[in-house]
A and B are shown apart, each in its own frame.
Chain A
């Protein structure tokens, strides 16, 4: 059992650390604390924040990888927790909460006859003697699971309430946050308990649990949404600030650079780059020993390429803002006092661009998660072996044409993706409303 650190793991954790320290640092500055308070006061934003936190936590747990033995497969901490979901593989399709397979097969009875019927599932509902009373069993399991979840939530609630006792009341809408957490925790516990005995979202073509796939996909979406930003920010901030501050030929050069990159159709640039990586990987197959490493590297490259194609918009915004800032009196005063260019940029210009960077990063996040699905459909997204909502949709598309139709893979991917993106959208709206100086008045 060795800890394996994949590229995206390391970067994801580094990014989370950066983010946490940035939020902490900005919370200590009064002029940035005010907009954060506005975000915290907003109820939809806090509901969204709790959901986003839950999703991020899942993604982070899924980013701690181990290798079994010396040459074994790489699996994550989440995989180990969800081992019962992962290993209970049925023969083929089964509907949500079903006890029988979805398709009919010839079955050999003990007395030698063969019948054309739908056989019982190997794992789901196997503890039932009579599949007829599965609904009462499901209700019992779900209720006990939810009850345990409620107990966990109560414990948490009491703990937080005790810890906060005596402190001045905060602006945070506590009741909203507590209720969201209650729904999330009880729901998760009920789902977990149920999925130990059944397949809540059914199984796919090779009999794999769909709920497990959806949960594993969270990490892919999270990595793409955040790492792309990490790649994009140095380009956007560095070049934008330089172009706006120095003007002249530096400005011309940087403008030329981003107009050129912008004029290439984004999808085609991504496609070209991914094709090149495929060729590279195919010719250097010996360098990619394990499947997980290979898939991870492709995900990393995808972030890299998405980042390279998407820094131009933010760069233009930052350039315009820097053009405005450099004429401000305090910057001129700094220049008159003999402060160097580098110091002016670092102390007087970049910190004042914080709100633009924050707004654009938060707004881009949901778009990137959505883009992943589209790219995977065009086969230029993540590796086909990586769990992602895009890959799930891609495989489920043809299942709708089957008769009878198989809808649950699509439904599960839709549900998870929609929740994630909606939460991100609601949160980013609140952040934009709070930080955009043009909107603060109303």
Chain B
């Protein structure tokens, strides 16, 4: 197990280096820092001095890969690649283009993101598995047909409409909850309810359908037939035999996305103006703050890889047949 973990962590490095190279190429080689400076300072009537000053302020005035002007290791470290990309490996995100400390921002903003994403995931899981179980219980009836059709209809509606409709109905017309905003501490609850409910409803269509296929696959298996043959009722079969076995792929799927919950949801957070990492990213994109976008790309890839490792580990925990070598 330990050996496996160490190997996975070592394996993660080439991937992260790859991610870094891709983002570096996207951000610095396609468009040199001069173009970025011109973009930030406004397109026209920008003097060379202004560009140089901007580059110096934000640390973009160094060569890309190799600094011939310095001596020793500084030849490699005093470059944009080292300063802006390699340092991410130490989780030193540096300062954003507007001068704020990105690391501190991320630590502060991940909690609101989590406060929305975690309940949405867990409650959504409960709702979706219950609906899927119901559909499987009533299989080959009109109820199932109606349910599956309903799922397809729900799936065909854009997430934007769920959010807009939720805000309009519960926030504006019924005035049950505030339309948007956030507060620290327990006062946040009234702001969290609506995004969570909207998130769950938006996920019902695809989630229920997906879990239903997992359950149906399990229902066809031999051990289920055996359970029925020895006289168990359909409810007992479903809850005692089908549910635990079908939960294996569901749970491992959930584990894979658990770390990514920190990143928050771009849409939900910006619609409900929640100060999480999702809206942080959106703001960075619209302000064209490349430093933040780069940091978030790196963070996202790290969390994705952590998710993959966690999935493997959780497989060994729930399914004793799987062994990691």
Contacts and interface: CB of A to CB of B under 8 A. Distances in A.
B7 interface: no
B159 A374 contact: yes
A267 B161 CA distance: 19
Interface stretch (B90-98, B221-229, B234-242, B288-296): B288-296
A259 B301 CA distance: 10
Contact of A276 (B30, B157, B266, B267): B30
A370 B30 CA distance: 29
Nearest to A396: B164
Interface in B114-131: none
Interface stretch (A77-85, A103-111, A416-424): A416-424
B50 interface: no
- The main secondary structure of chain A at its interface with chain B is helix
A378 B22 contact: no
Interface string A246-269: 000000000011011111110111
Contacts of A264: 19, 22-23, 297, 300-301
Contact of A421 (B156, B260, B263, B305): B156
B15 A259 contact: yes
Interface in A385-442: 389-390, 393, 397, 400-401, 410, 414, 417-418, 421-422, 425-426, 429
Interface string A369-386: 010011001111000000
B27 interface: yes
Interface stretch (A93-101, A151-159, A185-193, A278-286): A278-286
A172 to B, nearest CB: 22
Q: Interface size for chain A: under 10, 10 to 19, 20 to 34, or 35 or more residues?
A: 35 or more
Nearest to A429: B152
A6 interface: no
Interface in B11-41: 14-15, 18-19, 22-23, 26-27, 30-31, 35-36, 38-39
Given A265-B263, A268-B281, A275 B160 contact: no
B31 A276 contact: yes
Interface string B137-156: 00000000000000011011
A426 B14 CA distance: 42
B296 A414 contact: no
Contacts of B26: 272-273, 276
B172 interface: yes
A267 B22 CA distance: 15
A256 B16 CA distance: 11
B285 A422 contact: no
- The main secondary structure of chain B at its interface with chain A is helix
B156 A373 contact: no
Contacts of B31: 276, 279-280, 283
B301 A263 contact: yes
A89 interface: no
Nearest to A439: B213
Contact of B266 (A259, A267, A401): A267
Contact of A260 (B15, B30, B286, B293): B15
A76 to B, nearest CB: 25
A268 B300 contact: yes
A271 interface: yes
Nearest to A428: B152
B304 A263 contact: yes
Contacts, number: 124
A265 B297 CA distance: 6
B290 A410 contact: no
Nearest to A407: B168
A370 B155 CA distance: 10
A390 to B, nearest CB: 8
A366 interface: yes
B164 A276 contact: no
Contact of A425 (B15, B156, B267, B305): B156
A265 B15 contact: no
A369 B193 CA distance: 29
Contacts of B73: none
Given A263-B301, A269-B297, A378-B285, A422 B152 contact: yes
Given A267-B266, A279-B36, A260 B18 contact: yes
A128 to B, nearest CB: 33
B304 A366 contact: no
A282 B285 contact: no
B159 A262 contact: no
B289 to A, nearest CB: 10
B39 A279 contact: yes
Given A256-B15, A264-B19, A264-B300, A271 B27 contact: no
A426 B152 contact: yes
B313 interface: no
A377 B278 CA distance: 14
Contacts of B159: 370, 374
B282 interface: yes
B163 to A, nearest CB: 9
A286 B18 CA distance: 34
Given A265-B300, A378-B266, A425-B156, A397 B164 contact: yes
Given A260-B15, A267-B266, A282-B39, A272 B158 contact: no
B296 A374 contact: no
A260 B43 contact: no
A389 B157 CA distance: 12
Contact of A422 (B153, B286, B300): B153
12 contacts: A260-B15, A268-B296, A273-B26, A276-B31, A282-B43, A283-B31, A370-B159, A374-B159, A390-B160, A393-B161, A400-B172, A401-B172
Given A263-B15, A263-B304, A370-B158, 15 more contacts: A260-B15, A264-B23, A265-B263, A268-B300, A271-B281, A275-B288, A276-B27, A282-B35, A374-B267, A390-B160, A393-B158, A414-B157, A414-B158, A421-B157, A422-B153
